[in-house]
Amino acid sequence: MLLTLSTTHQPATDLGFVLMKHPERVLERELPFGKATVFYPEASARRCTVALLLEVDPVALSRTTRAAEGKPLEPYVNDRPYAAGSFMAVALRDAFGTAMTGTSRERPELADTPLALSVEVPCIAARGPADLPGRLFGPLGYAVQTEAIPLDPLYPEWGERPYLKLRLSGTMKIAQLLKHLYVLLPVLDGRKHYYLNDTEVDKLLRHGEGWLATHPERELIAARYLRFRELVRQATPHFTVQEETVQDGEQAAGPPETGPRLHDARLDAVAQVLRDSGARRVLDLGCGEGKLLRRLLPAPQFRELVGLDISARTLEIAAENLKLQERPELSARVKLLHGSLAYPDSRLKGFDAAALVEVIEHLEPHRLDALSANLFGFARPATVVLTTPNAEYNETFGNPRDLRHRDHRFEWTRAEFQAWATAAAGKYGYSVRFGPLGNVHPEYGPITQMAVFTR
C-alpha cells in the first residue's frame, strides 16, 4: 500500500528538513508486520513528494492473527496488505515520528509554519457511510476528494465500497497533518490489527490534542478508534470541554434559580474563599475558559495564577478572555498549562491554594483515587476548594435520575460527597469543612455543595 505527501511550498525541497528525511536517500525500516520504505519520487524547487510504501507480509500476518477474529479464512484472505488503515498509521509514526512532534533540528521555524500540502492514498478502507471521509477530514480544513474502487471490474454487481482512492489538500503544519492521518486512517477503516488496551486512550489524547476536542465528530472518532465501550468512557471526559454550558437544572423542568445566576454565584463564592485563605499563588484546576481566573486577576493579593485544563482549545479561549496577548505585563502573574490531574505534575507543586470548580463529576469514579493522590498527596496546596452538584437536589427538577449535564459521569448526594472528602482529607493530612452554594431546599439541601480542605 502507498501514501504520498506533496508540497508546492517554495523551495519545495524544504519538505525534507521538516520530515527529517533527505530527498536523495531511501530509507527502509523493518516492522513487525512487514517493511516500510520512504523515498522521494520527485524533488524539485517547485514541487516535492515523499512516498511511504508499506509491504505487509501476509504470511507473518496470518501467524499473528488470533483464530477467534473474523471468519475462518480471514487470517489468510483479507485486505490488510492492500488497503491503508492501522498498518499505515503505525508506519507513519515509525517513519515520521520526529516530524509528528512538530520539531525540526535544522529548520525549527519551518516545522511551525503552515504549508500547502496534499496527500494521496490510492486505496483506503472506508467502512461506514459514504460521506465519512468528508465528515472526518472536512472540519479540519481539508478539501476532500474520493473515488470509489470496484471490488472487481469484471463483476460490477459486487459493488464498490468499502475501498476508495483518497486525496486531501490544505494548508497546515506538517505535524498537524501527520497526527490527523495517524488517528483518522484507522477510524475510516473501523478496525485495528493489534490488541487494544488502555494505552490506546493515551495515544488518542496525545495525537488528538488541539483538534479532537472541537471536532464535530469527536464521539464517532473515539468510538471507532477505541472500539471498546470502556476505553471510550475513559477517553471522553478528556476531550470534552469541562466548562458547563448551561446553568445547572436548565436541562430539566424545575424551579427557577433565584438571585445571581448559579454559575456566577459559584465562582464568586470560590473566589471569596481563596481571598479569605490569604493565598498568593493559586491553581485553577480544570480552568475551562478562565472565568475564575478573571475574578482573581484584579486582586493584587494573588501574585501567581495558574490555570490547568485538558483541552488545548479551551486554553486558547481562556487566553483570549484574559487578554494575555494584549497585556504582556500579565505574563509574570498568569500562566495557562495543558495537562491532566490523572498524572503527577511537578508544575503544580508549591502553591498556596487550588480550586476545582465542577470538575470531579466529569471523571470516571475509578480515577478519583489518582486525582486524590496527585492533588492532596503530590501537589499538596495548603488550601483546596472543591465544588460539585448535589444529586439530592435533582428531585426538584422532576427527573431525579437524570444527570444535570451529558458529560457528568456521576453526581453525589451530600452523604456520598462528605464521605469521600473526609476520607481523602484524613488520608493526606487535611481537615475539611462543607458549605452550601446556590438555592437550598429544606429537604434536599443545596443545588451545589462545596468542600474546603486545609492542610
3-state secondary structure the chain: CEEEEEECCCCHHHHHHHHCCCCCCCEEEEECCEEEEEEEEEECCCCEEEEEEEEECHHHHHHHCCCCCCCCCCCCCCCCCCCECHHHHHHHHHHCHHHHCCCCCCCHHHHCCCEEEEEEEEEEECCCCCCHHHHHHHHHCCEEEEEECCCCCCCHHHCCCCEEEEEEEEEECHHHHHHHHHHHHHHHHCCCCCCCCCHHHHHHHHHCCCCCCCCCCHHHHHHHHHCCHHHHHHHHHHHCCCCCCCCCCCCCCCCCCCCCCHHHHHHHHHHHHHHHCCCCEEEEECCCCCHHHHHHCCCCCCCEEEEEECCHHHHHHHHHHCCCCCCHHHHHCEEEEECCCCCCCHHHCCCCEEEEECCHHHCCHHHHHHHHHHHHHHHCCCEEEEEEEEHHHHHHHCCCCCCCCCCCCCCECHHHHHHHHHHHHHHHCCEEEEEEEEEEECCCEEEEEEEEEEC
Looking up residue 276, the CATH number of its domain turns out to be: 3.40.50.150
Q: Which residues pair with 28 in a beta bridge?
A: 37
CA–CA distance, 104 with 279 (Å, rounded to integer): 41
On whether the CB atoms of residues 390 and 445 are closer than 8 A, the answer is yes
Q: Are residues 190 and 278 in the same domain?
A: no
State residue 226's pLDDT score: 81
On whether the CB atoms of residues 51 and 119 are closer than 8 A, the answer is no
State residue 258's pLDDT score: 37
How many domains in the chain?
2
Grid cell listed for 307: 490555570
Q: Are residues 178 and 269 in the same domain?
A: no
pLDDT along the chain (455 residues), means of 10: 93 91 91 90 94 83 52 59 84 90 84 91 85 89 89 67 87 92 89 68 82 83 75 58 40 38 84 94 93 92 92 84 86 89 87 94 88 94 96 79 77 94 96 92 92 96
pTM of the full predicted structure? Answer: 0.52
- Which residue shows C-alpha cell 465519512? 132
State residue 379's pLDDT score: 94
Q: Are residues 15 and 121 in the same domain?
A: yes
Look up the domain containing 371 and give its range.
262-454
Domain boundary among 194, 210, 242: 194
CA–CA distance, 222 with 231 (Å, rounded to integer): 9
Domain boundary among 194, 222, 247: 194
Grid cell listed for 77: 484472505
Looking up residue 145, the CATH number of its domain turns out to be: 3.30.1610.20
Q: Are residues 189 and 313 in the same domain?
A: no
Identify the CA nearest to 432 among candidates 271, 262, 242, 273.
273
CA–CA distance, 99 with 121 (Å, rounded to integer): 20
Grid cell listed for 416: 456520598
Domain boundary among 143, 177, 194: 194
Q: Are residues 160 and 280 in the same domain?
A: no
How many Cβ atoms from other residues are within 10 Å of residue 431's Cβ? 11
Phi, psi of 148 (to 5 degrees): -65, 145
State residue 241's pLDDT score: 43
Which amino acid makes up residue 201? V
Q: Are residues 50 and 142 in the same domain?
A: yes
Q: Are residues 301 and 431 in the same domain?
A: yes
**Is 248 within the bounds of a domain?**
no
CA–CA distance, 443 with 121 (Å, rounded to integer): 63
- Sequence-distant (6+) residues with CB within 8 A of 85 are 124, 125, 185, 186, 188, 189, 191, 192, 193
Q: Are residues 186 and 268 in the same domain?
A: no
**Is 24 within the bounds of a domain?**
yes
Q: Are residues 270 and 189 in the same domain?
A: no
**Is 121 within the bounds of a domain?**
yes
Cα separation values, 422 from 284, 296, 451, Å: 22, 28, 10
CA–CA distance, 243 with 359 (Å, rounded to integer): 9
Q: Are residues 61 and 176 in the same domain?
A: yes
Q: Are residues 313 and 410 in the same domain?
A: yes
**Is 445 within the bounds of a domain?**
yes
- Sequence-distant (6+) residues with CB within 8 A of 271 are 292, 295, 296
